[in-house]
Structure 1
Amino acid sequence: MTKVRVLLAEDHQLVRAGIHALLDKMGGVLVVAEVSDGQAAVKAVEVQQPDLVLMDIAMPGLNGLEAASRITKSWPKVKVVILSMHANEEYLRQALKAGVTGYLLKGADIQELELAIRTVSRGEQYLTPSVARYALEAYQHDGAYPVNPLDRLSPRQREILQLIAEGHSTKEIAFRLSLSTKTVETHRSQLMERLDIHDVAGLVRFAIQFGLVHPSS
């Protein structure tokens, strides 16, 4: 029997080890790699070509939603299941826009985790019941989700916004992204203009409000 090849992306080592152990006990599932941030997840997908990525949302540098968007665009056959602590409409909207095929809460039991993996592996979508109603309600009302201010930003601008909100300096961001400091400053000016926010504190509040980072980051 061909096994489902899974890449696990989760920034907390103990949580990652626990999920890995659960996956190892599932018949027909093979963990091919595990990573701790979104950038590493994208690189690992390129190398490992897994069938499925089990992805945390809150990860440093490049969060799970941004990483998922890059993965689904570059490797359409790779399925992404988001692991989230948040059962709310906004996170689901962002996840579906990123092209994920599964959304699972971290409080789910082992049986639901296995069900999500099996369902997505068959080419079907799996949304945990507590958030599935949001998708149904949105399309019943007007066929789409309301516009998110993050949609005004390019993927690179969202990435830089996250790094700014995490406290990285312009030089640090430039080094991490292999950009010049001038390019980073240009992106920062553009995203401030698009969001009509003109100080770093305001950018941090915005990033927290819309889920790019969390207050503890």
Structure 2
Amino acid sequence: MGSKKIKVVIADDHPIFRSGLVSVFNQQADIEIVGEAANGQEALSLIESSNADVAILDVDMPEMDGIETARQLKDRSSSVAVVFLTMHRDAAILRSMQALNAKGYVLKDSALHDIVDCVRRVSMGKKFIGRGLDELVLDAVGTGSRQMHPQLSRLTKTELQIVRLVGEYKTSKEISQELFVSVKTIETHRYNICLKLGITGPHALLAYAVENQKYLENLAG
């Protein structure tokens, strides 16, 4: 009867939504909330100090978003099971989830129904894709199987280098430091790259870069 509880950290910059999730978890005998954060930086500290089993990360948090937080957790070889939480049905997020070894992807509009089952499943090492995302999974698989690399010929050498670094999960700030230019210059390049490639969405360039990394290693060298 004294089985170990699943320790969970929730990171979301909307306090009302966060408190709603906490209320749901507080009704579960096998789940314990060990920390709440409003951004990724706070989440990293809480995950480390609490030895959490599961981290629920809002993809669109300020300061450090959920994807960057997951990247840092992966770099630190953290054993925490990451769940992405977002309002967006975005195949790019799904591919980032796969690349970063995240375990779950839940939409905010169905989170109150899905999140408990999600936490239980990912705590056992299983994957969880929330309701309303079936078509997205098929789209992500289909997009990933297509050879998109010919489009890279439209980019300049500098743009190719930037896309390669994006595919290594580096932020605009990190890229600017590596290339000795301003963050604004990198953001302008990223905007132009997306126009040339015909891709849209907050995480589309990251997904594209990850998919085409093996070509970028040759072209941007």
With normalisation by structure 1, the TM-score equals: 0.70
Change (3 A) 1:64 1:192: closer
Matched, 1:81 2:83: yes
With normalisation by structure 2, the TM-score equals: 0.69
Amino acid at match of 2:62: P
What CA deviation, in whole Å up to 9, does each residue of 1:72-113 have, x standing for no partner? 332342101111111232222223223210001111153422
Change (3 A) 1:145 1:22: farther
Distance in 2 of aligned mates of 1:42 and 1:119? 22
How far apart are residue 160 of structure 1 and its match?
A: 6.2
Amino acid at match of 1:62: M
Amino acid at match of 1:82: F
What CA deviation, in whole Å up to 9, does each residue of 1:170-217 have, x standing for no partner? xxxxxxxxxxx978963637735863749xxx9xxxxx94249xxxxx
Matched, 1:195 2:197: no
Alignment of 1:140-159 (within 5 A): 143=145, 152-153=165-166, 154-158=168-172
Change (3 A) 1:121 1:103: same
Amino acid at match of 1:191: I
Change (3 A) 1:5 1:188: same
Q: Which residue of 1 aligns with 2:181?
A: 186
2:65 aligns with one of 55, 59, 63: 63
Kept in 2, the 8 Å contact 1:72–1:80? The answer is: no
Q: Which residue of 1 aligns with 2:121?
A: 119
How far apart are residue 30 of structure 1 and its match?
A: 0.4
Kept in 1, the 8 Å contact 2:94–2:140? The answer is: no
Alignment of 1:1-217 (within 5 A): 1-108=3-110, 110-139=112-141, 143=145, 152-153=165-166, 154-158=168-172, 186=181, 188=183, 191=186, 195=190, 197=192, 209-211=201-203
Query: CA RMSD, aligned part only?
Result: 3.7
Distance in 1 of aligned mates of 2:84 and 2:177? 34
Change (3 A) 1:182 1:63: closer
How far apart are residue 20 of structure 1 and its match?
A: 1.1
Distance in 2 of aligned mates of 1:23 and 1:86? 23
Change (3 A) 1:31 1:134: same
Amino acid at match of 2:104: G
Change (3 A) 1:43 1:114: same
What CA deviation, in whole Å up to 9, does each residue of 1:133-177 have, x standing for no partner? 43344435754796898664254434569xxxxxxxxxxxxxxxx
